[in-house]
Amino acid sequence: MSVVVLKKTPAPAKHPPAQVVPLPVAAKSGQWAQKSLAWIVSSVLPPLVVLFVLLAIWQIAFSGPDAGLPTPTKVWAESSELILDPFFVYGSQDIGLGWRVLTSLERVAYGFGLAAVAGVLMGAVIGQSALMMRGFDPIFQVLRTVPPLAWLPISLAAFMDSRPSAIFVIFITAIWPIIINTAAGVRAIPQDYRNVAAVLRLNQIEFFWKIMVPSAAPYIFSGLRIGVGLSWLAIVAAEMLTGGVGIGFFIWDAWNSSRLTDIIVALIYIGVTGFVLDRLVGWIGSVVSRGTAS
Amino acid sequence: MTMAPTKYLHIDRISKTFTNGSKVTEVLQDIRLTIDKGEFVSIIGHSGCGKSTLLNLIAGLTDVTTGALKLEGREVNAPGPERAVVFQNHSLLPWLTVYDNVKLAVSKVFSGTKTRAERHDWIMQNLDLVQMIHAADKRPGEISGGMRQRVGIARALSMEPKVLLLDEPFGALDALTRAHLQDAVMDIHARLGNTMIMITHDVDEAVLLADRIVMMTNGPAATIGEVLEVAIPRPRDRIALASHPDYVRAREAVLRFLYERHRFVEAAE
């Protein structure tokens, strides 16, 4: 493959040491093209191959006359419209999957946004004190394991409405890893930074913004990343029960009207959106906490 | 220094005990020391003798158990920028550039007294003092250990401290870099006339830099064993000093203290 070729070409070890040969400038663009080609070969090709193989196995496995699930070709034949046009609007309940994902994302934005702010603040307070940590941590560790849907009945009882209930379920699902990770990050702030803050007499707010947030950023963002993943898990499940126009309710609706191929398309949408959310938070984290580790 | 000796920093019968559960360890006992304005004092002792604890007490980062600490007649019991510390491992914030690290200190200390432009000039002036202007936009991870320590010194100096505390600042550096930084510190001391207290375990460093060398006995319950005046005139030059009789005598005195009278016994506890 081209990777191997790349490694073999620059091998001028036998030249006399004093001879410096300047590289032609034009070679740069060629190198760039070669590099991006190598990247495609090494990073994009393998998942595509695996995907193709899996689709082929799926096609063969469910080609029989009495197969329970549709094959990929059948999914394409019956539901390709959902894939090709995500943003159609035919009526208040008949809208493209793109709109449905956006509706669900809006709920996630509210719930997760609240959880992020509250979680980081609570984590900061709890992480600052060993006593608070000892008091709160076991409780968080227990609450953390409660599945998102188990909160839903309580939430419905408290809010009497499905919309805030769904948001609350996301909030309560996402907040625990954010609190726990932030607290761990705050506890891990080196004593040296605390000493610097003490000598400078930074007050609580200055300490929070100038020392705590940057220093704990890697921890905070790994909490946020887990939290956003859980939020997305929770919203799909919650919408199945609360209704509305979200992607979760779409699946439930499709199941009730036996549109299995639509469900499969919706699953792909959910998976891709979850992946993008995860990468987005991860990317923001790596930008924000650049330089923190060194 | 030709200034009339005043009781600038007064350490009055300080002791420090650490309590861990039921186990009480006395680290320092009955420390008495008076330091004049503009004086350079080195504190030397074997590792574990509590010299860093003593520095933390002066900085206010640790509370004294008994005794009192007075700076210009006022009692010290909390950390503050008038007793700036150059930390052992530089303690720069890795997410800030060199400039911003100094700026953090300057904007906190001079927020009410200097304008934005004056603060910028002051930051640059301090970076210039340690010859680090060229790296102002670099992060601590991108510069060498010696450079980081220079920035640490600039940050501490930028607070315009009454007393500059240096906690084994060059301990982790190689010998050549250390020599450069020692010269830089001597130069700064000559120019600004700061009061400086430096913890060290390097005999040559102590003799080269200090007006007085405070020698600590071994812990636990360490105290000041001896204080040696180093009457070598400044400016001091390390090459000329190597054979200077006063230098040789001072060096020998410290070595005798450390290796004859207060030999370090491993795991003495």
CATH number at residue A174: 1.10.3720.10
Are residues B104 and A192, on separate chains, in Cβ contact within 8 Å?
Answer: no
- Report for A42-46, A135-139, B170-174, B241-245: range of highest mean pLDDT: A135-139
pLDDT of A21: 56
Q: Report chain A's mean pLDDT, rounded to a whole number.
A: 85
Mean pLDDT for chain B overall: 89
- Which residues from B are below 8 Å from A212, CB to CB? none
Could you tell me if residue B245 is inside a domain?
A: yes
pLDDT for B198 beyond 90: yes
A169 occurs within a structural domain: yes
Q: Picking from B17-26, B150-159, B209-218, which range would have the lowest pLDDT averaged per residue?
A: B17-26
The domain containing residue A120 runs over which residues? 100-288
DSSP state of B188: H
For residue A96, what pLDDT is reported?
A: 82
- Answer whether residue B232 is part of any domain: yes
**B108: which chain A residues are within 8 Å (Cβ-Cβ)?**
200-202, 206
Q: Which of B60, B104, B142 sits opposite A200 (nearest CB)?
A: B104
Of A200, A210, A294, which has the smallest distance from its Cβ to B141's Cβ? A294
Give the residue from chain B lying closest to A290, CA to CA: B95
Interface test with B, best of A194, A195, A199, A219 (most B CBs within 10 A): A199
CATH number at residue B249: 3.40.50.300
Within 185-244 of B, beta carbons closer than 8 Å to A belong to none
CB–CB of B83 and A289 under 8 A?
Answer: no
Query: Residue B266, SS3?
Result: coil
What is the per-residue pLDDT across A270-285, written as a single tens digit (0 to 9) for each?
999 999 999 999 999 8
Answer with the residue of higher pLDDT: A180 or B266: A180
pLDDT for res A48: 92
The mean pLDDT value for A109-114 works out to: 95
Q: Is residue B113 assigned to a domain?
A: no
The per-residue pLDDT for range B213-235, each reduced to its tens digit, is 999 998 788 889 889 999 888 88
Closest listed residue to residue B208, CA positions, set B257, B176, B244, B172: B244
Residue A29 has pLDDT above 70, yes or no: no
Report how many domains make up chain A: 1
Tell whether B157 is within 8 A of chain A (Cβ).
no
Q: Among A190, A215, A291, whose Cβ lies nearest the Cβ of B139?
A: A291
| Residue B189 domain flag | no
Residue B249 lies in a domain: yes
Three state DSSP letters for chain A: CHHHHHHHCCCCCCCCCCCCCCCCCCHHHHHHHHHHHHHHHHHHHHHHHHHHHHHHHHHHHCCCCCCCCCCHHHHHHHHHHHHHCCCCECCCCCECHHHHHHHHHHHHHHHHHHHHHHHHHHHHHHHHCHHHHHHHHHHHHHHHCCCHHHHHHHHHHHHCCHHHHHHHHHHHHHHHHHHHHHHHHHHCCCHHHHHHHHHCCCCHHHHHHHHHHHHHHHHHHHHHHHHHHHHHHHHHHHHHHHCCCCHHHHHHHHHHCCCHHHHHHHHHHHHHHHHHHHHHHHHHHHHHCCCCCC
Report pLDDT digits (tens) over B241-256: 888 899 999 999 999 9
For B160, name the nearest residue in chain A, comparing CA atoms only: A200
Judge whether residue A117 has pLDDT over 50.
yes
Q: Searching chain B, which residue's CA lies closest to the CA of residue A213?
A: B95
Domain of B242, in residue numbers: 1-76+195-269
Strands (E) in chain B, as ranges, are: 9-20, 23-35, 40-44, 66-71, 74-75, 85-86, 163-167, 195-200, 212-216, 224-229
Q: Chain A neighbours among B 46-75 (CB < 8 Å)?
A: 59-61
CB contact under 8 A, A201 and B139: no
Tell me if B190 is assigned to some domain: no
**A11 token code pair:** 């091998």
Amino acid at A81: E
Q: Is the pLDDT of residue B6 over 80?
A: no
Q: What is the total count of domains within chain B? A: 1
pLDDT tens digits along A200-215: 999 999 999 999 999 9
Q: Do B93 and A294 touch (CB under 8 A)?
A: no
> What's the pLDDT tens digit per position in B155-192?
999 999 999 999 999 888 888 888 989 999 998 999 88
Residues of B in contact with A193 (CB under 8 A): 91, 93
